[in-house]
């Protein structure tokens, strides 16, 4: 079992995205966290939105690294 705190990292990423002016991506991640009924459902929604954000949004280097790390951790958790 991983000690990685998915929710803490996601909240931190949401704050970072907001501070960088990417309210739309932050909102998608927040909605994924608030809309899920179970932990698995939340992680699946975060995985989907993170993959889309990483693929389609020009992120700053540190933000891309953080988003990518979170995505990898979520993928590992869902396997």
- 7 Cβ partners below 8 Å, 6+ apart? 33, 42
The domain of 55 spans 6-78
**Number of folded domains in the chain?**
1
pLDDT band with cut points at 50, 70 and 90 for residue 32:
very high
**Which of 27, 53, 68, 77 is closest to 35 using CA atoms?**
27
Averaged over 69-78, what is the pLDDT? 96
Q: Is 56 among the domain residues?
A: yes
Identify the pLDDT of residue 73: 96
* The pLDDT of residue 1 is above 60: no
**Which of 76, 63, 56 is closest to 10 using CA atoms?**
63
This prediction's pTM: 0.93
Q: Is 54 among the domain residues?
A: yes
């Amino acid at each position: 079992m991983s000690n990685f705190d998915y929710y803490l990292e996601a909240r931190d990423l949401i704050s970072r995205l907001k501070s960088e002016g990417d309210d739309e991506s932050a909102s998608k991640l927040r909605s994924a966290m608030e809309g899920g009924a179970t932990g698995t459902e939340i992680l699946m929604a975060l995985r989907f939105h993170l993959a889309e954000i990483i693929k389609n949004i020009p992120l700053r280097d540190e933000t891309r690294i953080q988003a990518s790390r979170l995505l990898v951790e979520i993928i590992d958790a869902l396997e």
